[in-house]
Structure 1
Amino acid sequence: MINKKSIGVFDSGYGGLTVFESIAKSLPDYNYIYFGDNARAPYGDHSFETIYQYTLECVEWLFAQGCPLVILACNTASAKALRTIQQKVLPVKYPGYRVLGVIRPTAEVIGTYTESNTIGVMGTRGTVNSDSYPIEIHHQFPALNVVQQSCPMWVPLIENNEHGSAGADYFVKKYLDELLAKSGDIDAILLACTHYPLLVPKIAGYLPEGVKLVAQGDIVAESLVDYLKRHPELAGVLTKEGEMSFYTTGDSKVFDQSASIFFSREVVSSQVSL
């Protein structure tokens, strides 16, 4: 495996599989390694320092498996760890390696989804408290009004396969109502967590007419396609055999069963310890 150069895709759990699926559809020829830190998920309520340390450990593990490019398919990790890894770790320890997140590519296009110039952002506490989305969005669209709402119960519901249950409706409606109560001008809502696409059917049922839902998978995939075109020196060293490998810090049997909810093909993973 070390002789092969794969694209690494990291998430704290299963949600990154929704992004990985879009990436694999857009770039099917490349080799991929997906790594879920399920034993320590969810990340959303951990401290900045803890999330940074967990994320760095997982990124370095992917580097060791032969991944010169790693995608943080996790909004919390992108919000709280990406910048430090890019600025302080890579230049010193891993020159030539690249780590990309999901926040910046989303921020670069989110303004095109609104006509009222007001968008809602729904994410974990960690993502919302970091203010990463308002900061990045205002770099691209200074006049855009960004209204945030944390949804602490959504990830646990999804990871416990309860997102289709009647109980999930309560929390979907609760957080959506809280967001929309903050502004009547919201006409687009960004699902700023890669788990949340699994709740789209329920969210749509409570969404006012004319309000768009924006998920990140296709946005991140399109951004990666463009990135590799602009960096042929990196694209050229990546192995193109169409292989996919899956790893988890949790129980591999549990991972394989739950992964099928997020990924539209059979998943067979291996368990690793960090």
Structure 2
Amino acid sequence: MPKVLPEAPGPIGIFDSGYGGLTILHGIRSLLPQYDYIYLGDNARAPYGSRSFGIVYEFTRQAVMCLFEMGCHIVILGCNTASAKALRTIQQNDLPLADAGRRVLGIIRPTAEIIGNLTETRHIGILATEGTIKSESYNMEIKKLFPDIKVSGVACPFWVPLVEYNEGNSPGADYFVEKRIKQLLKTDSDIDTIILGCTHYPLLLPKIRKFVPNNIRIVSQGDYVANSLKNYFIRHPEMEGKCTKCGKVQYLTTEDPDRFRETAQIFLHENIEVENISLGSMS
């Protein structure tokens, strides 16, 4: 039997498998600082990138329900892999059973919506995790909106560890970053726009720009997701009214809070308070 969820207004939930969603949170808070937020990172079970659709769905569902139970009426999957592998099933199967008045939004669609205005050659590239590339979610979303755009993608399996171990600016990172960019541009030499399809990758921007030709635009998701949420609230004032506005942020992790706090400084450049939380069985 589904749990009875709180009806009172609550914070906006932002979920990620780890730390990358902090770049999404930063973008949203910069534009919409008045709202309250809960950030939940499933760091104990990260990374999600190479996990199966079924496992990513189950882990994401657990996190979404947890945020609902904590009072969130709207949850943003600040994770490309979760958006690719779990969002649609949760929207179609779980929301009607849990509470049809609540919403779960992803970050792939907002990025796809703006891409048609950014590319001139109509050839774009995606740099992302293995899971996001294999799901072809960007390809499908972009083709729905812009059938004339050609999409090419390359998985970058070592980029997330480079960020989380704070090695993104090291000389050793050059090899891994350059290799994947060359691979992408070799796939399609007409690419004029590259989407960073993982929320960790904005922290590698100095390295990425070093190896991407100046005529190619690099698209980071944070600002576009923030604008999409702002526009969503304009279109759906009933959902905006269910969000509290005290400018507070609560951070939760399924891992060690001290470790999360230390790594989060790489993304946020500020000290934060973090609490531990359990989500289902940690497998």
Q: TM-score range by the shorter chain?
A: over 0.9
Give the alignment partner of residue 197 of structure 2, picking from 152, 172, 192.
Answer: 192
RMSD over aligned CA atoms reads 1.2
Give yes or no for the alignment of 1:157 onto 2:162.
yes
**8 Å Cα contact 2:11-2:243 kept in structure 1:** yes
Structure 1 equivalent of residue 18 of structure 2? 13
Structure-1 separation of matches of 2:186 and 2:165: 29
Give the alignment partner of residue 225 of structure 1, picking from 211, 222, 230.
Answer: 230
**8 Å Cα contact 1:5-1:66 kept in structure 2:** yes
**8 Å Cα contact 2:125-2:195 kept in structure 1:** yes
Give the alignment partner of residue 260 of structure 1, picking from 252, 258, 265.
Answer: 265
Deviates more, 1:104-113 or 1:67-76: 104-113
**8 Å Cα contact 1:2-1:64 kept in structure 2:** no
Give the alignment partner of residue 211 of structure 2, picking from 206, 215, 218.
Answer: 206
Structure-2 separation of matches of 1:271 and 1:229: 34
Segments of 5+ residues of structure 2 without an aligned counterpart are 1-5
Give the alignment partner of residue 96 of structure 1, picking from 101, 104, 107.
Answer: 101
Deviates more, 1:158-167 or 1:38-47: 158-167
- Partner SS for 1:8: strand
Segments of 5+ residues of structure 1 without an aligned counterpart are none
| One-letter amino acid of the structure 2 residue matched with residue 193 of structure 1 | C
Within-5 A mapping of 1:139-158? 139-158=144-163
Question: When the two structures are superposed, what TM-score results if normalisation uses the length of structure 2?
Answer: 0.95
Identical aligned residues as a percent: 53
| One-letter amino acid of the structure 2 residue matched with residue 164 of structure 1 | N
Question: When the two structures are superposed, what TM-score results if normalisation uses the length of structure 1?
Answer: 0.98
1:71-108 CA-partner distances (Å, limit 9, x unpaired): 00000000000000000100122211100000001101
Q: Deviation at 1:263?
A: 1.3
1:170-228 CA-partner distances (Å, limit 9, x unpaired): 10001001000001101110000000000000010111120111000000000000001
| One-letter amino acid of the structure 1 residue matched with residue 257 of structure 2 | S
Give the alignment partner of residue 39 of structure 2, picking from 30, 34, 40.
Answer: 34
Give the alignment partner of residue 181 of structure 2, picking from 173, 176, 182.
Answer: 176
**8 Å Cα contact 2:133-2:153 kept in structure 1:** yes
Structure-2 separation of matches of 1:157 and 1:53: 27
**Count of matched residue positions in the alignment of Structure 1 and Structure 2:** 274
Q: Deviation at 1:163?
A: 1.3
| One-letter amino acid of the structure 2 residue matched with residue 157 of structure 1 | L
